[in-house]
Chain A
Amino acid sequence: SQQGEEDPQALSIQEGENATMNCSYKTSINNLQWYRQNSGRGLVHLILIRSNEREKHSGRLRVTLDTSKKSSSLLITASRAADTASYFCATRFYTGGFKTIFGAGTRLFVKA
């Protein structure tokens, strides 16, 4: 089962614009992570935000976390054609071990 739900499912923007993706989840979490996947490849970790953090930045990435609403957002600023990929949020929580569950993803297409 998947805990995270992302929206939009797909997003098409022009190069230079900002892209915002949202993620909602169901249970209490230890942290929330965002990953990127290029077609035919494995996922690559982008950024992690802990449950006691509200905002985090890494380069052109900005992540927010609202644990009261069980939601997170990923903002990619000044997008580039190379940012075209699928983006997934993943929540980590304890169930006898630390399980990591992924959402269905947002497919981002950046037009040059």
Chain B
Amino acid sequence: GAGVSQSPRYKVAKRGQDVALRCDPISGHVSLFWYQQALGQGPEFLTYFQNEAQLDKSGLPSDRFFAERPEGSVSTLKIQRTQQEDSAVYLCASSQTGVNSPLHFGNGTRLTVT
């Protein structure tokens, strides 16, 4: 079946603009994760949903970052008033329920803030 889909693939924003990044998880996957990956680094945890409930948002860097998953399927990561340090690849992953279910990743959205 289809994998995790993220859009857009690339986004260039001027500093101060708002951006919205979309994630379509694998159908039926209950858990959804957002990560931020800087060049040459590992993915840094941002937030985690189980269905529509945001169970952990401890990794969101500031109150400019906001994530939602209103119907327990598609998720949107919104960044307000973008800054240059927000430039990174934003990865979305989904998984089935169960602690031993692996994460399935999309190819990410590369955000460049100029």
**Residues of A that sit less than 8 Å from B by CB:** 1-2, 4, 30-31, 33, 35, 40-45, 48, 50, 88, 90, 92, 94-105
Min C-beta distance of B96 to chain A, whole Å: 12
- B42/A88 in contact, CB under 8 A: yes
- B33/A100 in contact, CB under 8 A: yes
A95 and chain B: residue at smallest CB distance: B56
How many A-B contacts if CB must be within 8 Å? 68
8 nearest A-B residue pairs (beta carbon) = A42-B105, A97-B55, A45-B102, A102-B42, A104-B42, A43-B105, A102-B43, A42-B107
- B55/A96 in contact, CB under 8 A: yes
Whether a CB of chain A sits under 8 angstroms from the CB of B4 is: yes
Among B12-20, B44-52, B70-78, which stretch is in contact with chain A?
B44-52
> CA separation between A98 and B4, bound complex, in Å?
19
Mark B15-50 against chain A: 1 for CB-CB distance below 8 A, else 0.
000000000000000010101000001111100101
B98 and chain A: residue at smallest CB distance: A98
- A100/B100 in contact, CB under 8 A: no
- B100/A48 in contact, CB under 8 A: yes
> CA separation between A1 and B45, bound complex, in Å?
7
Whether a CB of chain A sits under 8 angstroms from the CB of B11 is: no
